[in-house]
Homo-oligomer: A and B are copies of this chain.
Amino acid sequence: MKDGLLTDRQMEVLRYRKQGLTQQQIADIINTSKANVCTIEKSAMENIRRAKETLEFLYTLDSTHLCTLAGGTDLFDIPSIIFSEAEKINVKVKYDTISLINHLRESRPRSYKARCLCEDVEVYVTDEGEIYFG
């Protein structure tokens, strides 16, 4: 029973990077080449990408993809986007304007800064009107 996708080596490199170290500095610390640090970091990012995609798949298992909210969108524009998309496919969304924004804030705390979405966010909806942000 192993834990996450990332190997010890990969977590080690990501931690040092987060601290602002260069690949060369990390290479010196863990006693290898900077090229190696680069590939380790790269495969770590790839694993993270795959982890995200895996959970996306879970949503799609009992939801349908509603729309993509583009990075840069104003948070307060989002509810009307979602409501109109949901209307197109005859789904009654379970949230009102306020609670929808709160739902987004809670489930994707990192996806916005101030009033602005800072990355693309996928929106999924179930037949019952439950909304997931993937």
Interface residues of A (CB under 8 A from B): 2-6, 11, 14-15, 18, 47-48, 50-58, 61-62, 94, 109-110, 126, 128, 130
Query: A3: which B residues are within 8 A, CB to CB?
Result: 50, 53
In the complex, the answer to whether A5 meets B61 with C-beta atoms within 8 Å is no
Query: A56: which B residues are within 8 A, CB to CB?
Result: 4
In the complex, the answer to whether A18 meets B48 with C-beta atoms within 8 Å is no
Query: A126: which B residues are within 8 A, CB to CB?
Result: 109
In the complex, the answer to whether B18 meets A57 with C-beta atoms within 8 Å is no
The minimal Cβ–Cβ distance linking A129 to chain B, given in whole angstroms, is: 10
Bound CA–CA A3/B62 (angstroms): 19
In the complex, the answer to whether B54 meets A14 with C-beta atoms within 8 Å is no
The minimal Cβ–Cβ distance linking A122 to chain B, given in whole angstroms, is: 14
21 residue pairs of the A-B complex, CB under 8 angstroms, read A4-B53, A5-B5, A5-B50, A5-B51, A6-B54, A6-B57, A11-B57, A14-B61, A15-B61, A18-B61, A18-B62, A47-B54, A48-B55, A48-B58, A50-B51, A51-B51, A51-B55, A94-B109, A109-B126, A109-B128, A109-B130
